[in-house]
């Protein structure tokens, strides 16, 4: 009897996983693309950044590693807020839906290295 029950549990779990119901998102599902806008702000080239959630589920508490980030063009704190040395919180920790993106621009001599550092997967 226990063998049949264990087999059923394995079948149910496999079914859930194969249908995408057991999805866990990570910061690896956060895509960041930086491109030059062509504008100049206070003598510095402007850079456009698009942060996209590529996972099937929402993610929250998205933290970005922005080593040496500087800008002469203000970025709204509702989009990007510094929470530690070279660490920034995206959209105040609010959730980013599957496929959703956040855009911001900054101006500096060269593009900063902006990488996903952490996120919280929201079950879907």
88-105 per-position pLDDT tens digit: 999 999 999 999 999 999
CATH of domain 24-121: 2.60.40
Question: What's the pTM value of the predicted model, to 2 decimals?
Answer: 0.81
Angle at 63 between CA 83 and CA 90, to 5 degrees: 85
110-124 per-position pLDDT tens digit: 999 999 999 999 998
Q: Which residues of 99-120 are buried (b: 16+ CB within 10 A; e: fewer)?
A: eeebebbbbbeeebebebbebe
* 117, 29 contact by CB (below 8 A): no
């Amino acid at each position: 009897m226990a063998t049949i029950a264990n087999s059923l549990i394995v079948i149910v779990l496999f079914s859930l996983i194969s249908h995408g119901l057991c999805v866990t998102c990570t910061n690896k599902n956060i895509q960041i693309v930086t491109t030059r806008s062509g504008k100049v702000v206070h003598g510095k080239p402007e850079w456009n950044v698009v942060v996209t959630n590529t996972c099937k589920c929402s993610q929250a508490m998205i933290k970005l590693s922005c080593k040496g980030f500087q800008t002469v063009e203000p970025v709204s704190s509702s989009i990007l807020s510094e929470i530690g040395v070279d660490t920034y919180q995206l959209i105040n920790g609010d959730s980013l839906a599957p496929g959703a993106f956040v855009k911001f621009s900054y101006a500096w001599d060269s593009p900063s290295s902006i990488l996903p550092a952490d996120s919280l997967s929201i079950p879907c």
